[in-house]
Amino acid sequence: MSSELRTRAIVGILLILVALAALFFGGFLFWTLLSVAGVLMQGEWGDLTGATPENRKLAMFAVSVPLAILCPAAAGVSWLAFGLMAAAFFFVALTSRSVKLALGVPYIVVPVTALLFLRGQMPDHVGLLLTFWALGLVWATDIGAYFAGRSIGGPKLAPRVSPSKTWSGLGGGVLAALLVGFLLYRFAGLPVQLAAASGLLAVAAQLGDLFESAMKRRAGVKDSGTLLPGHGGVMDRLDGVVAAAPLAAACYMFLVLP
């Protein structure tokens, strides 16, 4: 194993362990992890959209307002968070004169809200299961896509955006996500509707990955940042979650809740 691959593996395992610890304890710890990640992602979004350092910092401060109201000690998951998200969007757009920069606000706040919504479901073990499902299937999609793409290869999925992605990789990712979903259904009590929807969420995760790849290609950079050795930036690790989490929350709301 090369030193670069070893570094990537070690950092990846540490990131998963931190995420699982925050997920298990939930509440303030989970919100803190998501909020810190969200503010950092807004900074990376600013870099990818070509914002000036001043406007980049302004957007990071602005996105922290709706993230702060999501704190369990504040309003938590509520419509107020979406109202503040809209206010932050217009504030950034008007002060920076850049709608592209302002679009980072909903890109971050919507998935954070979705994950906090899932984790807040009661009883507590239900919230834990739902959030683990939403995150775990993204991890499974990445792993399945990597190994299927490397071993099978074949036609490229979107060569102009991400030359390394293949249709076989997408298929492997979908199968891996379905496997995780039905294992959680069989052994942990995940509703069968959500297990069946895991493949759809895997496709959403891959689309989220492609969207960020398109942003990086337009910006002329390989990674969204350099914070995570071997992985790039926070957006590089959470691009799939950004797309899958809101869909996971919607599936739960419309397929499971009465």
**Which pLDDT value is given to residue 160?**
87
Tokens 């297990």, located at residue: 195
Q: How sure is the predictor about 116, in pLDDT bands with cuts at 50, 70 and 90?
A: very high
**Residue 123, preceding peptide bond in cis (omega within 30° of 0):** yes
pLDDT for position 1: 54
Residue 135 confidence (pLDDT) above 60:
yes
Q: How many CB atoms lie within 10 A of CB 256?
A: 16
Identity at 113, one-letter amino acid code: T
Tell me, yes or no, if the pTM score tops 0.85.
yes
